[in-house]
Structure 1
Amino acid sequence: MPSRNTALAVLAWVLFFFGLFTVVYPRVTGTTLFPVYNYGDLSSYNPILIPFVYLANYLTRAWGAFLFAFMLGGIIEAFIPRQKMTNYFSSRSAKSYFLAALFAPVLTVCSCAMIPIFGGIIAIGAGIGPALTFLLMAPAANFLAILFTSELISPLMAAARFGFSFVIAILIGFIVAKTPWARAVEEKFAKISAARAAEVVKMDFREKSVNSLRDAYVLVRTILPYLLIGVAAVSFIDAYMPRDVVGAYLTGAQGVILGAVIGVPLYTPTLVEVFLTKALLNAGMAPSAALAFLLGGPMISIPSMIGVSRIIGWKTVLTYALLGVLWAAVAGFIYMTFIGGL
């Protein structure tokens, strides 16, 4: 039994570091570690094949990020003491929201890959408000996304994206934490994490490593099937949404509102939203609508909402989604009124 546990402990860390390597390697070299399946024109496929083709592209592109994210979620759940998490990520402390928003940009992951990490910190006693701030801030304004936005669009747009994302993620987390259904979720996980806390304290490094593998598996089983269903559903929107027509309507006040809304069904992997926004800007999209899209899209997508709902329920998910669209539109209107251009 000890030898089996040792092997599982080693496996946990091998998977974590390999996942981390697959995430870092493309950022450093500019090329993917393994081939990515490219489907060309998605609308040219038989409708029955579209979700499978889309999933093949998605999984060959994102499997490493998912491996890293699920293992990180498991490690957080197994290793970080509950007391520290409740101290630093408490919904009752204003400082917790700022810490969550400051630390989140380190993770260059999409909204879907953030879900297991979110699940991990919630499970060990983080307040739901700061946890949501963390969940929303990472895909909306991670360092690479801001860098790409600056290089491909403009430094002004990058600064606006980071600043508004920071404020919006904190506001959403703070507001949602005050709702009765979010409080009920927080209380449920507080009881679970308290029950586990005594057991975790007694474990050595090897036992915690084995537990991290088990916790990661629970996150995979809970989240991944529903996440893949959501991605498959989005494939039809990606295939048939007329982007040239969308670009033509993304000007003025209606453009800002549409920009905030269309990111919900139009899911894109991390950093891809920058290239899509650049293409829409070239087609006539207003900068204010572009900002609303860059804020709303990465924070709130159908696949991520489906995955997160498995952890905190639909009431809480719909609350933060509606707030996300609202605040993204408000940010777009502020940008349109006081800045306007790129």
Structure 2
Amino acid sequence: MNWIISILSVALSAAPWLLLGLLLAGLIKAYMPESMIQRWIGGRGVGSISRAAIIGMPLPICSCGAIPTALALYRGGAGRGPSTAFLIGTPGVGIDSILLTSILLGPLMAVARVAGAIFTAITTGLLVATTDRSEQANKEVSVDTRSTETACASRCCGSKTETSHSVAPIQELPIQEISHKTRLKQGLKYAFADILDDISRWVVVGLLLAGLLITLLPPDVLSGLSGAFWPLVLMAIVGIPLYICATAATPIAAGLLLAGMSPGMALVFLLAGPITSLATLGIFRREFGSRALVMYLIGILCSSVLLGWLLNVGLQTFGINPTIQANQALELLPEWLEWLALFVLSLLMLQPLRKRLLGY
């Protein structure tokens, strides 16, 4: 019974902010063309890497969803550094997960998560960028060779086939030709159908795990492991290969924090878990090479562990307890609004009913 109460408490607190986050995600999708993003983060310098990390942060794209966009940016002319920063910053946090973190873990943890995701994206992007220069010449020679071969084959066949290396740039929606109503409808469909279908099962799993952790895990077990440095490393190693979206990771981290885990370990989980996955690692190695993959892993591992350690030290120094902030934030909205939001969210998660009501 206590387990059900814990799950319901977390779900009620999360539902309104998840709905608001999905709404904002739909607006971003509707009014921010992807080709604009490509122009902003083109290049290979520190500025491009920083812009890629910051621009990718609020976008409503999960780890696997960020892969094709990042590859399109890279093949469209962006360097490895900015492409990597975008690949990390985009799934690390989103507008929906930021709101959930602020409510379930407190404003301080939300700020730490956003700053940590940006720092990890920039640091890892800079490390991966060091492999860009050494292999750029070989890449250009390879492209020229393949272009010549393909062009020859095209002339022999009498066709206009393009080179095998060329990749179509990100398609920009002709916004000036589409009404605001149509754009808004497409954005909301993307948020409450595509995104919600992708994250719904993981959100449910996250809520179930959070309730279990709060109910069954003795606080002294985790608190005894949370004061050392090596548990932070272990948490990062466990989190890197996982496939879990930033939104679904939030209630799990809240359960761990309320069960006695240190804020630093919770932050490491929030950073390492959503940022990458085994699928991302495989595609990253295929596209950028083994050396770049090593730099990618070093950047994520060292950055997340360092940030978790600094957070623990800072909180201990100033005597701040984010668990108290999280408990206070849970009582921010009236209960009737939380129940209404949870009811609406549950209806939207049921695909057949949503298609009958909304048409998508």
TM-score tier by shorter-chain length is 0.5 to 0.7
Structure 1 unaligned regions, length at least 5: 1-25, 32-64, 70-74, 207-238
Secondary structure of 1:271's match?
Answer: helix
1:270 equivalent in alignment to 2:222: no
Identity of aligned residues (%): 26
> Structure 2 vs 1, CA of residues 305 and 182 (structure 1 numbering), >3 Å: closer, same or farther?
farther
CA distance, structure 2, for counterparts of residue 262 and residue 157 of structure 1:
21
Tell me the CA shift for residue 198 of structure 1: 10
The Cα of 1:255 is off from its aligned counterpart by 2.9
Contact 1:292/1:328 (<8 A) preserved: yes
| 1:265 CA drift (Å) | 3.3
Is the 2:21–2:96 contact (alpha carbons within 8 Å) kept by the matching residues of 1?
A: no
1:326 aligns with 2:293: no
Q: Secondary structure at the match of 2:57?
A: helix
| Correspondence for 1:294 among 247, 251, 270 | 270
Tell me how far 1:86 sits from its aligned partner. 7.5
What is the Cα deviation at residue 328 of structure 1?
Answer: 0.4
Change (3 A) 1:110 1:251: farther
Could you say which structure has the larger radius of gyration? 2
Whether the 8 Å CA contact 2:21–2:99 is kept in 1: the answer is no
**Which residue in the other structure is 2:352 paired with?**
none
2:88 equivalent in structure 1: 136
Q: Matches of 2:81 and 2:138 in 1, distance apart?
A: 9
Separation in 2, partners of 1:110, 1:268: 9
Per the TM alignment, residue 318 of structure 1 is displaced from its structure 2 partner at its CA by 2.9
Pairwise CA RMSD: 4.4
CA contact (8 A) 2:85 2:122 kept: yes
Contact 1:256-1:288 at 8 Å conserved across structures:
yes
CA contact under 8 A between 1:86 and 1:125: conserved in structure 2?
no
Residue 262 and residue 187 in structure 1: after superposition, are their counterparts in 2 closer, same or farther (change >3 A)? same
Aligned match of 1:256: 232
In structure 1, give the amino acid aligned to 2:52: A
Structure 1 position 288, deviation (Å): 1.0
Give 1:289 deviation, angstroms.
0.9
Shift of 1:185: 9.4
Q: Distance in 2 between matches of 1:146 and 1:176?
A: 27
Paired AA for residue 89 in structure 1? G
Query: 2:258 corresponds to which residue?
Result: 282
Instruction: Report the secondary structure of 1:179's partner residue.
Output: helix
1:314 Cα deviation after fit: 3.3
Which of structures 1 and 2 has the larger relative contact order (alpha carbons within 8 angstroms, sep 6+)?
2
State the alpha-carbon separation in 2 of the partners of residues 308 and 165 from structure 1.
19
| Counterpart mapping for 1:1-342 below 5 A | 28=19, 80=35, 85=38, 88-92=41-45, 94-179=46-131, 183-184=135-136, 187=139, 247=222, 249-340=225-316, 341-342=321-322
Q: Check 1:185–1:160 CA distance in 2 against 1; reply closer, same or farther (3 A cut).
A: farther
Q: Report if aligned partners of 1:91, 1:174 keep a CA contact under 8 Å in 2.
A: no
1:273–1:28 distance in 2 versus 1, CA, 3 Å: closer
* TM-score normalised by length of structure 1: 0.57
* Aligned length in residues: 238
Q: Distance in 2 between matches of 1:323 and 1:140?
A: 14
Alpha-carbon deviation of 1:142? 1.9
The Cα of 1:106 is off from its aligned counterpart by 2.8
